[in-house]
Chain A
């Protein structure tokens, strides 16, 4: 009987990153950094990369590997992850470990079916992959014939065997979010409201590796403190995907009052949004973000018609990314549910876009309409004033 020592570790698989060419190392290093930073919150883990995979190991046996797994599979760049048994040894060792491993998968309440799938990276190992599967399956059946039966088509669980310089056994494969590691896709400024869309937009850009700051326009007391808390709660949920996130809260009340008193009611929403974009662009320069990100979707509301979007775009010199532009609202809602922002987004506290909304806002404003509505406003003064009224909350 061989000594049945093994390490329990987490194996994370990478997707798109492995297709990268010369800068693949940069992507991998960033991914390892992101996973490490996430795990630092819950304990002491080593995170190393080998053979196009990332291995996560607890530094001592006090660490909660299951919690770590949960964090690992929320890091962009990870395709999937598994808790694995890892050990060195020969065929006898493999068979003994596989039986012990299968025992941990047995459901005491019922007889289950299983199969074995093997991969052999170490060509020195004396058996081929199909032979490994067959020998391991046989050993498990002999030991646990009263609990298990073989079903290669629809098994209740699969024992995966990977033979490389070490041998790995695992049965669970937890899907990750895929995408690219945050920090490899540049830096953007997300216009975050309390709604359903903008957190999803932030999530989508983060999934392409973009690092984010967020800006929220707060018009207290037209928007209540609860609205502000709601936005911060949404941002906090987003940090599970984006990593560190700073929310810049612009005190927008006085500007909103000035705009309301100055502009025709049917142009107020557009003028307000143009002002927000200008302030956001100025803030983006300050935090060195290269692009603005919004949750707008074409035609969703009056301020998101093509004309309205064009009218707001003209006031900023940087690109505006709108990852939801072609998405149906239902798909956005599904995504919001999946990333955990939906329940918070639907809390009934309004954002400042809706406080003074006209009964019939202009749906097809021309640039000339907007310019005319803003005539006489000290735009530069207002933007400058807003920049002095920003509170930063680092999450």
Chain B
């Protein structure tokens, strides 16, 4: 029986992973766009990205574009796999294959 991924299951982290997973592999999203897409605040988004990064689900790249710092978040292969398994588990629950 598949288990829900406790790291991804948190609502904001689920939204972050959903957005990143919808992009082609190795393509990331800037922090500002991710914030707009998920509707999160700066601090909240930063904390959850850190949790995902510690789990190895996302890679965080910090760079300067001109004089402005820019943070880009990308789903790793492990993150994509975990997200796919999490979605499959959700679908199994809906289909009644899991208690």
Do A and B originate from a single complex?
no
